[in-house]
Structure 1
Amino acid sequence: MRVALVSMYTPHHEETGATIRMRRTAELLAEHGHDVVVLCAKWWDGEVIEFAQNGVTYHRVTDSPASGRFASRVPFALREVKPDVIQVTSFPPSCVTAAKAAARFLRVPVVADWWTRDDRGGSRSYRRAAKAPHAVLAPSEMIRTQVRELGASVDATHVVPEPIDMDLVREAGVQERADVVYARDLDEHANVESFLLALAELRDKDWDAVVIGDGTERSNAEQTARDLRIDDRVEFLGELSADEAVPIMKGAHVFAQTATREPFATNLLWALACGCVSLVEYQARSAAHELVEGRERGSLVTSPQELADEIVAARGFDHRTVDEDFARYDSRQVVSQFESVYESEIDDFGFF
């Protein structure tokens, strides 16, 4: 299948949840035998129109990101690549409607991948973008609900989560570096303070903790640990690859999720697959609770004090290093979900 992914931005322009998901999807589809081309603003050097990386072809639409110019040129670029299906990221929303216009002439379906609503897009544009595609993919039920509130129909929306590599989880070693783990980009939504405040409540207990991740708020988090006088027991490891983080999660007993904004809690999913007892501080703009609701080895909390109490209670659970319940999130399973939506939309489009 020839798949065109339309995304003005790539991780080479800016690393966001949406661009990282786009690249991951493109590379997974390519690994599973699909012909994948990403229509984007140019990020490579030289004058070539196309650039190949990790099995994916990147096709220049504009020389730099500019939503108006990019949207106006998307239909012409799509005619050049002649895809069987078009998948477009939801930001900028003008690109979704541009892709839909091109699809009418190409007679192929358009699928929008909706990570979250970017603050740089206008309400009216997002409403048009939610209604335009033949199908909308969301990483979580929370995001699916948001898209439906913008006008997408129930039947047109599908949850396709972020993937993990279960083979890596099964085969990785165990590194007993910490009892409690926090892992996430340390940006303005990380809310590491709640995690650290909970640990400070447990000064008289025997524990060690690590924080995995880097970002603009790391220095503030490190200062908070010093202010709480727990910096000798909390190690900040910076950004780690999955190969590096998984052994630490397999050696830990508890994973804490406190971020205030999370369309899909990928690091939490890795921890759950690694057998961690996972504790989630409920946040209105986070979908993390969806992964632990109803699970014996997971709890929802609403404050640092409750988080501290649940960390202590987690000692009542046995230590595990793999949880096969989460094999359904393996990359092979997630790719099949993308393929199922594509095939269904192609069949329906051909019928009508």
Structure 2
Amino acid sequence: MKICIVSDFFVPHYQGGGERRYYEIAKRMVKNGHSVDVICMKISGVVDFEEIEGINIHHIGPEIKKPPERKSSDFIKFICSVFKWILTHSYDVIDAQTYAPLFPSFIGAKIKKTPIIATIHDVSTGGDDQWIQSSKTAAIVEKILARMPYNKIITVSNETKNSLIEYYRVKEDRVCVVYNGVDIKLIDSVQIDEKYKNTIIFVGRLAPHKHVNHLIKIMKSLKKEIADVKLLIVGTGVEKDNLTVLTKNYGLQDNVKFLENLDYIELITEMKKSNMLVLPSTREGFGMVLAEANACKIPVVAYASGGVVEVVKNGINGFLVEPEDLNSLEKHVKLLLNNDFESLKLGKNGYNIVKSNFNWDNITKDILNIYTDSGDFEW
């Protein structure tokens, strides 16, 4: 099978959850004898074509200097480039993720009579904090994209599936839930020579809906009781400057450290050294970093939003907190910092849950079956 995957970016140049997912399934598809082309945006300093573990990666369209930040003109240029690519190449199936990759892929696939799969990780819950930029336009685009007649929609949680059905009237039989996975073997191979003390880690885009500012706010209070408490913020995004200013205003420069441009092994190393991962996000289709943290045998604390509730079992592998309840967020973080036994127990439980439920090999088989079945769709 000749497969085309269309994504905004791709690893190793951008380490988002969607990019990591496509990488993990693509390399396994190649091992199973399939041909995989990945079409994504150019990033400054990256060559136009790469081959990584047999995956053919084509960087097209405008050159992005600081992903994921892009101008409106960048989106338009990329949409045009993807459309042209689809028209001039032939595939057995096209899998495109929201948002910019999906529209030109759909139109191009329809013209070429190629099955088109939409990978939709999450949908908004309303409010400007749900978007990185251009919130009003993005909300309208989401409504249009969600309702297009794709062969199938793949999403990463039942929560997102239910939202697509309820809010966008997508037919239930057209939505397939395929969870994200974790490479347990790779994570197990990462060794650490020390464990940090009283250290919280956040991993993700520094976007409004991630609410990293909530973490910094509770750090101000935590510091009064635990003087050496540390927060590692791993990621880049539009909120970076605001978060840096907030850190300085609270006098937390010695307690909060910003990290970026880590490769995957470095990221896993920092997770393993930390005592817990906290994800105070109000928009998550799945929350891959939660599963990765559990695979590192550390517990998690997260807002009970979106697909997070399908990854975190409250009191079993971490704690779920009502969104934007900073008092409860601080309470549960403090509980884990002050209770090594509880922290170790939840981390061990999390490891076993991830090992049983989030296996990339099984996920790849499920997705290939969806690709195969999609050929039965009539336009």
Q: Same fold (TM over 0.5)?
A: yes
Counterpart amino acid of 2:97?
Answer: T
Q: CA deviation at 1:176?
A: 0.9
- Which residue is 1:208 aligned to? 229
- Which residue is 1:147 aligned to? 164
Deviations 1:86-115 (Å, cap 9, x if unpaired)? 2233334532541442353xxx53221123
**Stretches of structure 2 lacking an aligned partner (at least 5 in a row):** 63-73, 124-130
2:93 and 2:116 in contact (8 A); partners too: yes
SS of match in other structure, 1:101:
helix
Of 169, 188, 192, the residue aligned with 2:187 is 169
TM normalised by structure 2 equals 0.73
TM normalised by structure 1 equals 0.78
Pairs aligned (count)? 337
Q: Distance in 2 between matches of 1:40 and 1:247?
A: 28
Q: CA deviation at 1:317?
A: 0.6
Q: CA deviation at 1:279?
A: 0.9
Instruction: Quickly say closer, same or farther: Cα 1:18–1:103, change in 2 above 3 A.
Output: farther
Structure 1 residue 87 corresponds to structure 2 residue 108: no
Q: Distance in 2 between matches of 1:37 and 1:236?
A: 34
Q: Distance in 2 between matches of 1:206 and 1:124?
A: 46
- Which residue is 1:137 aligned to? 154
- Which residue is 1:343 aligned to? 372
Equivalent residues in 2 for 1:43-82 (5 A)? Answer: 51-54=49-52, 55-58=54-57, 66=77, 69-70=80-81, 73=84, 76-77=87-88, 80-81=89-90
For the pair shown, which has the larger CA radius of gyration, 1 or 2? 1
1:22 and 1:89 in contact (8 A); partners too: no
2:4 and 2:36 in contact (8 A); partners too: yes
Counterpart amino acid of 1:310?
Answer: H
Q: Distance in 2 between matches of 1:98 and 1:167?
A: 39
SS of match in other structure, 1:317:
helix
- Which residue is 2:111 aligned to? 102
1:201 and 1:305 in contact (8 A); partners too: no
Deviations 1:173-206 (Å, cap 9, x if unpaired)? 2331243222222233332221122232222236
Question: Root-mean-square deviation (CA), in Å?
Answer: 3.7
- Which residue is 1:325 aligned to? 353
Of 244, 250, 256, the residue aligned with 1:228 is 250
**Stretches of structure 1 lacking an aligned partner (at least 5 in a row):** none
Q: Distance in 2 between matches of 1:277 and 1:333?
A: 24
Of 156, 174, 177, the residue aligned with 1:159 is 177
- Which residue is 2:120 aligned to? 114
1:75 and 1:102 in contact (8 A); partners too: no
Q: CA deviation at 1:150?
A: 2.2
